Amino acid sequence: MMRVSLLNEGLEIPIEGEVAYFNYYWLRDNCPSSWDDITQERIFDILDEPDDLQIRQVEADELALNIIWHDGHRSRFELTWLVRWYKERSHEDLAIRHRTPWYCDHYKRMARFDFNDLLENPASVADWTEKLLDEGVALVQKMPSSNEELVQLCELIGVVRPSFSGYAFDVFSKKNPENLAYTSRALELHTDLPPEELAPGIQFLHCRTNDAEGGDSLFVDAVSVANTLKETYPEYFKILTSYKVPFRYTTKHHDVRAKQRIIEIDEDNGEVSGINFSQHLSDIFDLPQRVLDMFYPAFRKFGQMMQDPRFLMRFRLNGGECIVFDNHRIVHGRSSFKDGSGDRFLRGCYVGRGDLRSTYRVLRAKYPKERFLKL
Nearer to ligand OGA, 35 or 167 (CB): 167
Q: Is 181 one of the binding residues for ligand OGA (CB under 6 A)?
A: yes
- Whats the size of the chain, residue-wise? 375
C-alpha to C-alpha distance for 320 and 346, rounded to whole angstroms: 10
Say how far apart CA 17 and CA 262 lie, in whole Å: 43
Rounded-to-integer distance, Cα 62 and Cα 204, Å: 51
The identity of residue 215, as a single letter, is G
In this chain, which of 28, 208, 332, 353 binds ligand OGA, going by CB under 6 A? Answer: 332
The residue sitting closest to ligand OGA, measured at its beta carbon, is 181
Give 83 or 180: the residue with its C-beta nearer to ligand OGA.
Answer: 180
The answer to whether 171 contacts ligand OGA (rule: CB under 6 A) is yes
User: How much of the chain is helix, strand and coil, in % rounded to 5?
Assistant: 30, 30, 40
- Which residue, 187, 184, 191, is CA-closest to 210? 184
Rounded Cα distance between 13 and 17, Å, is 10
Find the shortest distance in angstroms from Cβ 192 to Zn ion: 4
Neighbouring CB atoms inside 10 A of 40's CB total 7
**For residues 217 and 276, which CB has a smaller minimum distance to ligand OGA in the complex?**
217
The amino acid that residue 214 corresponds to is: G
- 321 makes contact with Zn ion (CB under 5 A): no
Nearer to ligand OGA, 204 or 360 (CB): 204
* CA-CA-CA-CA dihedral for 223, 225, 228, 229, to nearest 10: -110
187 binds ligand OGA (CB under 6 A): yes
Question: At its nearest, how many Å lie between ligand OGA and the CB of residue 346?
Answer: 5
217 makes contact, choosing from ligand OGA, Zn ion, none, with CB < 5 to 8 Å by partner type, with: ligand OGA
Whole-number Cα distances in Å, 353 to 86, 197, 236, 341 = 29, 14, 27, 37
In 3D space, the residue among 86, 106, 114, 81 whose CA is nearest the CA of residue 21 turns out to be: 86
- Residue 217 engages ligand OGA in binding (rule: CB under 6 A): yes
Of 347 and 357, nearer to ligand OGA (C-beta) is 347
- How does strand 64-69 pair with strand 74-78? antiparallel
Residues touching ligand OGA: how many (CB under 6 A)?
Answer: 8
Beta strand pairing status for 10-15 and 255-261? unpaired
How far is the C-alpha of 27 from the C-alpha of 53, rounded, in Å? 11
55-60/10-15 β-pairing:
unpaired
Give yes or no for a contact between 162 and 346, defined as CB atoms under 8 angstroms apart.
Answer: no
364 contacts which partner out of ligand OGA, Zn ion, none, CB within 5 to 8 A by kind?
none
Among 206, 334, 353, 364, binds ligand OGA (CB under 6 A): 334
Which residues make beta-bridge pairs with 332? 190, 219
User: Residue 330 Cβ, how far from ligand OGA at the closest point, in Å?
Assistant: 11
Q: Which does 135 bind (CB under 5 to 8 A by kind): Zn ion, ligand OGA, none?
A: none
334 binds, among ligand OGA, Zn ion, none (CB under 5 to 8 A by kind): ligand OGA
Residue 346 engages ligand OGA in binding (rule: CB under 6 A): yes
- Closest CB 335 distance from ligand OGA, rounded Å: 9
- Binding partner of 60, given ligand OGA, Zn ion, none, CB within 5-8 angstroms per partner class: none
Tell whether residue 347 is a contact of ligand OGA (CB under 6 A).
Answer: no
* Smallest separation (angstroms) from Zn ion to the CB of 291: 29
Nearer to ligand OGA, 297 or 342 (CB): 342
Q: Give which of Zn ion, ligand OGA, none residue 171 binds (C-beta under 5 to 8 Å, depending on kind).
A: ligand OGA
For residues 65 and 205, which CB has a smaller minimum distance to ligand OGA in the complex? Answer: 205
- Per DSSP, the three-state class of 264 is strand
Q: Which of 250, 249, 273, 252 is nearest to 263 (CA)?
A: 273
Question: Among 127, 130, 135, 192, which residue interacts with Zn ion (rule: CB under 5 A)?
Answer: 192
> Where on the chain is the footprint of ligand OGA (CB under 6 A)?
171, 181, 187, 192, 217, 332, 334, 346
Rule CB under 5 A: which residues touch Zn ion? 192
